[in-house]
């Protein structure tokens, strides 16, 4: 079982959550961190979820489905994440 990790959110996520306050009825967003901490240490955006996700379960499901070249699939996805390109672009060279 993969443990949950507690970490700070990104600036974009914090701003989106604050924008939800008061959308349907009067409301306020209370931040439990200082503006200095927000400006100095928070990343602009969160990393892609695949970077934070354990792939053991995905590999086991793919093996159970009969996918023989799991390493090729996982490597292509990892390269897309590192290069920050859409995953479909990495498969374009196969066509």
- Residues of the chain under the 50 pLDDT cut: 87-95
Contact status, residue 50 vs residue 43, Cβ threshold 8 Å? no
Examine the domain organization and report whether 90 and 53 are in the same domain. yes
What is the pLDDT at residue 81?
58
Token digits for 15?
């701003």
Residue with tokens 């928070």: 42
Based on the domain organization, do 57 and 87 belong to the same domain?
A: yes
In a domain, 5, yes or no: no
73 inside domain: yes
Domain match, 54 and 90 both: yes
Do 35 and 55 lie in one domain? The reply is no
Tell whether 1 is covered by a domain: no
Task: Judge contact between 10 and 45, C-beta under 8 A.
Answer: yes
The whole domain housing 53 covers 49-94
Q: Is 6 within the bounds of a domain?
A: no
Indicate whether this model's pTM tops 0.85: no
Number of compact structural domains in the chain: 2
The confidence score (pLDDT) of residue 80 equals 62
């Amino acid at each position: 079982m993969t443990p949950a990790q507690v970490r700070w959110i990104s600036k974009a996520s914090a701003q989106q959550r604050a924008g939800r306050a008061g959308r349907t009825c009067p409301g306020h967003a209370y931040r439990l961190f200082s503006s200095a901490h927000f400006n100095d240490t928070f990343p602009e955006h969160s990393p892609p979820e695949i970077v934070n996700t354990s792939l053991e379960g995905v590999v086991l499901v793919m093996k159970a489905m009969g996918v023989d070249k799991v390493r090729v699939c996982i490597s292509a996805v990892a390269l897309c994440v590192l290069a920050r390109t859409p995953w479909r672009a990495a498969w374009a060279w196969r066509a």
